[in-house]
Chains A and B, each alone.
Chain A
């Protein structure tokens, strides 16, 4: 199994945006790995799915809107972005995201994708 793993990083986002810096801290890691041409995937689970919801505006509550930077992922070759279907359903959220290329996966497929990455960092 270990031989089949490509050197890749999974960033597992589990926190909602704005109340703490977890999402921004994960984003900074994603962009730096991207700029060093390292393979990085983003996973959104639990309250982390809120980071993908369209129509949010952090500036209303005086928080820097780091979610806008998600639009730059394609320039960093970050194109594997997964969201957990169960987490969306539990929060009654539609699959209406502010970036494209988001893949909605059921729990099993989500976990399966995670295991394909050599390193998982959780925020």
Chain B
């Protein structure tokens, strides 16, 4: 795990954090995002939600399989969701465009909450900081 500087978290500059993920599970930027989120959670920052948009919605596709010797972003989301009750919001419009649906294909991982861009507005309003990966 990359050792993020925790200063902004320790100094409580950020109390409520929201994150937007626009990169797919096979992108190394997902590793950065997960490290950042985990560091925040471990430092007691209240992470009010992660919003998945653009190719980021692929994290919610239960059919995605990444070679076992590569970084398993999706299982990391599951761990964080279970350990911290981390809310994971899925933009359903972006998801359906990519074959991820709760009706037709029923391939949405159950740890995700189906939502839309209105949820992003909500997160942005509630959070002290919104960070995009």
Binding site for B on A (CB under 8 A): 2, 7, 9, 21-22, 25, 28-29, 32-33, 36, 38, 118-122
- Contact indicator A25/B53 (Cβ below 8 Å): yes
Contact among A7, A21, A22, A25 for B125, CB-based, below 8 A: A7
Binding site for A on B (CB under 8 A): 13, 20, 53-54, 93-94, 117-118, 120-121, 124-125, 129-130, 132
Top 10 A-B pairs, shortest CB-CB distance: A32-B117, A119-B130, A36-B121, A121-B132, A25-B54, A33-B121, A32-B121, A38-B121, A28-B117, A29-B117
- Contact indicator B120/A32 (Cβ below 8 Å): yes
Instruction: Knowing A25-B54, A32-B118, A32-B120 are in contact, say whether A119-B129 is a contact too (CB < 8 A).
Output: yes
- Contact indicator B120/A38 (Cβ below 8 Å): no
- Contact indicator B130/A29 (Cβ below 8 Å): no
Instruction: Specify which chain A residues have a CB less than 8 angstroms from the CB of B20 in the assembled complex.
Output: 121
| Least Cβ–Cβ distance between A22 and chain B, in angstroms | 8
Instruction: Knowing A25-B54, A119-B129, A121-B20 are in contact, say whether A9-B124 is a contact too (CB < 8 A).
Output: yes
Instruction: Specify which chain B residues have a CB less than 8 angstroms from the CB of A32 in the assembled complex.
Output: 117-118, 120-121
- Contact indicator A29/B120 (Cβ below 8 Å): yes
Query: Complex: how many Å from CA A21 to CA B54?
Result: 9
Extra contacts besides A2-B13, A29-B120 (8): CB < 8 Å:
A28-B93, A28-B117, A32-B121, A33-B121, A38-B121, A118-B129, A119-B129, A121-B130
Query: Complex: how many Å from CA A33 to CA B117?
Result: 9
Instruction: Specify which chain B residues have a CB less than 8 angstroms from the CB of A121 in the assembled complex.
Output: 20, 130, 132
**CB-based nearest B residue for A21:** B54
- Contact indicator A36/B130 (Cβ below 8 Å): no
| Least Cβ–Cβ distance between A7 and chain B, in angstroms | 7
Sampled A-B contacts (13; CB under 8 Å): A7-B125, A9-B124, A25-B54, A28-B93, A29-B117, A29-B120, A32-B117, A38-B121, A38-B124, A119-B129, A120-B132, A121-B130, A122-B132
| Least Cβ–Cβ distance between A115 and chain B, in angstroms | 15
Contact among B53, B93, B94, B125 for A38, CB-based, below 8 A: B125
| Least Cβ–Cβ distance between B33 and chain A, in angstroms | 14
**CB-based nearest A residue for B131:** A119
